[in-house]
A and B are shown apart, each in its own frame.
Chain A
Amino acid sequence: MTAKISITVTVNGTAQAADVEPRLLLADFLRENLDLTGTHVGCEHGICGACTVLMNGDSVRSCLTFAVQADGAEVETVESLGSIDELGPLQQAFREKHALQCGFCTPGMLMTATDMLRKYPLETDDDIRDGLSGNICRCTGYQNIVAAVRSAADKRDGK
Chain B
Amino acid sequence: MINLENSPKEANFNYALNLRYKIGRIFAILCWLSVALALIILAILLIDVFIDGLPRLDWDLLTKFPSRRPAQSGLKSALVGSIWLMILTSIITFPLGVGAAIFLEEFAADSWLAKVIEININNLAAVPSIIYGLLGLELFVRIMSPITNGRSVISGALTLSLLVLPIIIVSTREALRAVPNSLRQAGFALGATRWEVVKDHVLPLAFPGILTGIILALSRAIGETAPLITIGALTFIAFLPPLGLEGLRSPFTALPIQIFNWVSRPQAAFHTVAAAGIIVLMVLLLLMNATAIFLRNKFQRNF
A and B bound?
A: no
Q: Which residues of A contact B (CB under 8 A)?
A: none
Q: Which residues of B contact A (CB under 8 A)?
A: none
